[in-house]
Amino acid sequence: MAWEITKERCLRCGACVSVCPVLALELRESGILNDSGKCTLCPICERVCPVGAIRVEK
């Protein structure tokens, strides 16, 4: 599993949450949470993040 987020960079805009096809992402008070059991590393969320906070490696 190689889905990583740089929390300090995240704006909490929710863009990644709304595009995830398998609903693996959740916006919490602490930041974005990824359910690794659902995530397919597709990596649409990485592409939509406006600040490059997400990194996905297959």
Q: Does 34 bind ligand SF4 (CB under 6 A)?
A: yes
Helix H or strand E segment including 45: helix 44-48
| Cβ atoms of 54 and 5 closer than 8 Å | yes
CB of 27 to ligand SF4, least distance (A): 6
Q: Does 11 bind ligand SF4 (CB under 6 A)?
A: yes
Tokens of 57: 């490696």
Q: Does 22 bind ligand SF4 (CB under 6 A)?
A: yes
In sign, the C-alpha dihedral spanning 39, 2, 53, 26 is: positive
- Interacting residue ranges for ligand SF4, rule: CB under 6 A: 3, 5, 10-16, 20, 22, 24-25, 32, 34, 39-45, 48-49, 51, 53-54, 56
